[in-house]
Structure 1
Amino acid sequence: MNDFFTISELAQEFDITTRSIRFYEEKGLITPRREGTKRWFSSADRVRLKLILRGKRLGMTLEESAEIINLYNPEDGNRRQRAQLIQQLENRRQQLLAQREDIDLSLRELDQLQQHVEQQQEEE
């Protein structure tokens, strides 16, 4: 594995645009080394990007992902980071369960309405 990656390599690996990577850089979430106009991303930047994208898939905000990433502290075994992540994951789980309940309710209402309309159509 390389020690450093170009923006194009990371964009291709994670199937995102180079603009997205620049956005995360502008937000201070990743900090590549620069040589002229070229950016060199470290293995640590790659891991941070992977965690940012995972958080995004899970519905976390950038701020939430950054908070988790910035708690990284191997000296304490990352206890604070893990505890915060567990809390955020539980919160997200509760949000998704609430959304699922809303979707299930909407589907039941749609089914009832469709059944009612079909019944009226058959009576004509």
Structure 2
Amino acid sequence: MPDAPQPVAEAPQEGARSRRTYTIGELAKLFEVTPRTIRFYEQEGLLEPERRGQTRIYHDKDRVRLKLTLRGKRLGFSLAEIREVIQLYDHAPDGDERQLRRMLDILADKRAAMQQQLEDIRILQHELDDVESRCQASLQALTRQRAKG
């Protein structure tokens, strides 16, 4: 069972936070996801654990990436958008600025799409209200007609 939680040696106390490692089980428990989800994100290039034989060793960088990925998914980002933002940060000297600018662009696009969806829903609600009113009026007319007949 290669992905079963196995103890991973902790880094020494000095600078331990930056060198903290996690097993797949620990990350899964920490973020309340399944190990399968974590393996999927790894397969998609969003996580890059160290491999020791069959064991995956996740570092703080992977923990942060998983956190960002899950947050991005909650906000409706596609995996491609999440990957792009992460790669901008990882591979560019001005990663912070480029990442933030791209994030703002994506957020603006998401907001515009949501506004359009809200407008579409409002229009649909009015159409439903109109159809419902006509159906009720027709039903009342039928009821009156039967009462007379």
Q: Is the pair's TM-score, using the shorter chain for normalization, greater than 0.5?
A: yes
In structure 2, list runs of 5 or more residues that go unmatched: 1-16, 144-149
1:71 maps to which residue? Answer: 88
Give the counterpart of 1:99 among 113, 117, 138: 117
2:37 maps to which residue? Answer: 20
2:104 corresponds to 1:89: no
Deviation at 1:25, TM superposition (A): 0.7
Deviation at 1:77, TM superposition (A): 7.0
Read off the aligned partner of 1:71 and give its amino acid letter: L
Structure 1 segments, 4+ long, off by >3 Å, are 73-77
Give the counterpart of 1:55 among 69, 72, 76: 72
Deviation at 1:13, TM superposition (A): 2.3
Q: Percent identity?
A: 42
2:9 maps to which residue? Answer: none
What is the rounded CA distance, in whole Å, between the counterparts of 1:94 and 1:61 in structure 2? 16
Any idea what SS the aligned residue of 2:99 has? helix
| RMSD of Structure 2 on Structure 1 (CA) | 2.0
How many residues are paired up? Answer: 124
1:112 maps to which residue? Answer: 130
Read off the aligned partner of 2:52 and give its amino acid letter: E
What is the rounded CA distance, in whole Å, between the counterparts of 1:35 and 1:64 in structure 2? 30
Any idea what SS the aligned residue of 2:46 has? coil
Structure number, greater radius of gyration: 2
1:9 maps to which residue? Answer: 26
Deviation at 1:87, TM superposition (A): 0.6
Read off the aligned partner of 2:81 and give its amino acid letter: E
Deviation at 1:84, TM superposition (A): 0.8
Read off the aligned partner of 1:11 and give its amino acid letter: A
TM-score (structure 1 length as normaliser): 0.88
TM-score (structure 2 length as normaliser): 0.74
**Which deviates more from structure 2 when the two are superposed, residues 60-69 or residues 35-44?**
35-44
In structure 1, list runs of 5 or more residues that go unmatched: none
